């Protein structure tokens, strides 16, 4: 359990300036030792804090903290669709929301965490992110149909991400099957979808999304593929509240279309942003085999179509990993 003062203090330090132990103690009406203890807890969570005798404490850089009102106002008119919960710290927003979904959480519940310490990625990977490095959230969407009808869902979510990135000024984003978002073949965002319910319905999807905001070099070195972030792409600190609001709006639109017409209606748009269309690729199978071919595109159900020496083969998202000869 994190000390209850840790995140309130971090919110004061979010301006990136020095705050003396004494001023913080006065502000929170506690002793300087209590402030020190709370910041020790922050360090235990991997948050770097500079502490300089005579000047106080500061974060390495300013951070824009999450704020529910700012998220809602960025969603705009569709804000009433969503039930947004902002958390300071969770191990994984997907794990948290999967549990909550199983005990009846409302449709369109969005869980967002300022700090996620055990973020999960596809194929058993971790999603690495310290405070302010990444926007990490999960959205619960309940479907009348069963899990069997959701095969193209992860690709549909990729389309929502591209629309949102376009709206906030990132035009060069592309999609890598099934659903990574790349800019210049470097990963900007990842999607992890977990399903609950029956094959014939109803079912529920927990849609987890991580977007790199500002990756420090030491974190980039721990990521096992080329990665980029919003700061590098725009030269600015983009407000995570703004991105989340814009994204939720597009997610809502895309999910409603998907519910009605399936992936089919979004397929052309997906292909327009496809980073590997007609490109040579290697596919790594769960059993370690490797297959080579050229990507023909995706089917109406989101299946990847690859031209191989044995003819066109179809792959469903599952555990397959796609590698381009470029990235
Ligand atoms: C991938 O690229 O492998 C998918 C990464 C998904 C990461 C997000 S961050 C929010 C949500 N909670 C998690 O534990 N994972 C997803």
Which atom belonging to ligand 1 lies closest to the Cα atom of 95? 14
Nearest CA to ligand 1 atom 15: 120
pLDDT for position 323: 76
Measured from CB, residues less than 6 Å from any atom of ligand 1 are 92-94, 119-122, 125, 127, 136-138, 180, 190-192, 208-210
Q: Which of 111, 131, 90 is nearest to 214 (CA)?
A: 131
**Residue 177 is encoded by which pair of tokens?**
């099957």
CATH 2.40.50.100 at 276-324, yes or no: no
- Paired sense of beta strands 134-143 and 173-176, if any: unpaired
For the domain spanning 68-272, the CATH number is 3.30.930.10
| % of the chain residues with pLDDT over 70 | 98
Largest distance between two CA atoms of the chain: 73
Are 147 and 175 spatial neighbours (Cβ–Cβ below 8 Å)?
no
Domain ranges in the chain? 6-58, 68-272, 276-324
Nearest to 72, CA basis, from 55, 60, 59, 86: 86
**pLDDT tens sequence across 201-224:** 799 999 999 999 999 888 887 777
215 contacts 130 by C-beta, under 8 angstroms: no
Q: Which of 85-99, 172-186, 246-260, 274-288 has the lowest mean pLDDT?
A: 274-288
* 225 closest CA partner among 91, 295, 128: 128
Closest ligand 1 atom to residue 94 Cα is: 12
Residues whose CB falls within 8 Å of the CB of residue 108, separated by 6 or more in sequence, listed in order: 81, 82, 83, 139, 140, 141, 252
Q: For 251-267, what is each residue's pLDDT tens digit? A: 999 999 999 999 999 99
Instruction: Give the nearest ligand 1 atom to 122 CA.
Output: 3
Strands 50-52 and 304-308: unpaired
The answer to whether 111 touches 85, Cβ cutoff 8 Å, is: yes
Rounded to an integer, what distance in angstroms lies between the CA atom of residue 175 and that of residue 10?
35
Given a cut of 80, is residue 321 above it in pLDDT?
Answer: no
How distant is the alpha carbon of residue 288 from its chain centre? 27
Find the 122 Cα to ligand 1 centroid distance in Å: 7
CATH architecture of 6-58: Orthogonal Bundle (1.10)
Q: Which of 116, 127, 178, 205 to mutate to test the pocket of ligand 1 (most atoms within 8 A of CB)?
A: 127
109 Cα to the center of ligand 1, angstroms: 17
pLDDT at 219: 80
Q: Compute, in angstroms, the gap from residue 208 CA to the centroid of ligand 1.
A: 5
Q: Which of 63, 163, 167 is nearest to 115 (CA)?
A: 63
Q: How many A from CA of 94 to the centre of ligand 1?
A: 7
pLDDT higher at 229 or 147: 229
Residue-wise pLDDT for 4-37, tens only, equals 999 999 999 999 999 999 999 999 999 999 999 9
Rounded to the nearest angstrom, the distance between the alpha carbon of 52 and the centre of ligand 1 is: 35
For residue 222, the model assigns a pLDDT of: 78
Q: What is the DSSP letter of 125?
A: -
| Per-residue confidence band for 270, with pLDDT thresholds at 50, 70 and 90 | very high
Indicate the SS3 state at residue 209: strand
pLDDT of 319:
56
Task: For the chain, give the mean pLDDT.
Answer: 93
Q: What is the pLDDT of residues 73-121, one digit of tens each?
A: 999 999 999 999 999 999 999 999 999 999 999 999 999 999 999 999 9
Based on the number of CB atoms within 10 Å of its own CB, is 237 exposed (0-12), middle (13-18) or buried (19 or more)? middle
Measure the CA–CA gap between 308 and 288, rounded to whole angstroms.
17
Neighbours of 124 (CB within 10 A): 7
Pick the residue whose CA is nearest to atom 2 on ligand 1: 190
At 322, the pLDDT band (50, 70, 90 cuts) reads confident
pTM: 0.94
**pLDDT at site 198:** 82
- Is residue 327 predicted with pLDDT exceeding 50? no
What's the 97 CA to ligand 1 centre distance in angstroms?
A: 12
Pairing state of beta strands 109-116 and 83-90?
parallel
Among protein residues, the one whose CA lies closest to atom 7 of ligand 1: 210
Burial class (CB in 10 A: 0-12, 13-18, 19+), 103: exposed
Instruction: Identify the residue whose C-alpha is closest to ligand 1 atom 11.
Output: 208
What count of other Cβ atoms lies within 10 Å of the Cβ of residue 180?
Answer: 21
Mutate to test the pocket of ligand 1, among 124, 126, 131, 192 (most ligand atoms within 8 A of CB): 192
CA of 13 to the centre of ligand 1 (A): 27
Atom of ligand 1 nearest to the CA of 93: 12
Distance (angstroms) between ligand 1 centre and the Cα of 64 equals: 21
| Number of the ligand 1 atom closest to the C-alpha atom of 180 | 2
């Amino acid at each position: 359990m994190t000390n209850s003062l840790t995140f309130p203090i971090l919110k004061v330090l979010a301006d990136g300036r020095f705050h003396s132990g004494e001023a913080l103690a006065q502000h929170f009406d506690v002793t300087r030792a209590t402030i020190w203890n709370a910041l020790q807890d922050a360090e235990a969570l991997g948050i770097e804090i500079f502490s300089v005798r005579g000047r106080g404490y500061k974060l390495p850089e300013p951070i824009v903290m999450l704020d529910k009102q700012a998220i809602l106002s960025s969603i705009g008119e569709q804000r009433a669709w969503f039930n947004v919960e902002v958390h300071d710290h969770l191990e994984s927003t997907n794990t948290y929301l999967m549990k909550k979904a199983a005990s009846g959480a409302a449709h369109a519940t969005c869980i967002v965490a300022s700090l996620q310490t055990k973020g999960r990625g596809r194929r058993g990977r971790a999603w690495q992110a310290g405070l302010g490095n990444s926007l990490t959230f999960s959205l619960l969407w309940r479907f009348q149909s069963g899990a069997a009808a959701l095969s193209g869902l992860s690709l549909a979510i990729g389309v929502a991400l591209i629309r949102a990135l376009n709206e906030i000024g990132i035009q060069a984003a592309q999609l890598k099957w099934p659903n990574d978002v790349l800019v210049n073949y470097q990963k900007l965002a990842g999607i992890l979808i977990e399903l609950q319910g029956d094959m014939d319905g109803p079912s529920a999807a927990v849609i987890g999304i991580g977007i790199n905001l500002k990756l420090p070099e030491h974190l980039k070195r721990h990521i096992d593929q080329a990665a980029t972030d919003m700061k590098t792409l725009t030269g600015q600190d983009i407000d995570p509240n703004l991105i989340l609001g814009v994204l939720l709006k597009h997610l809502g639109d895309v999910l409603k279309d998907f519910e009605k017409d399936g992936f089919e209606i979004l397929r052309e748009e997906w292909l327009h942003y496809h980073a590997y269309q007609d490109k040579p690729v290697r596919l790594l199978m769960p059993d370690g085999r490797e297959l080579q071919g050229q990507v023909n595109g995706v089917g109406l159900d989101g299946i990847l179509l690859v031209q191989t020496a044995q003819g066109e083969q179809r792959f469903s998202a599952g555990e397959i990993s796609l590698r381009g000869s470029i990235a």
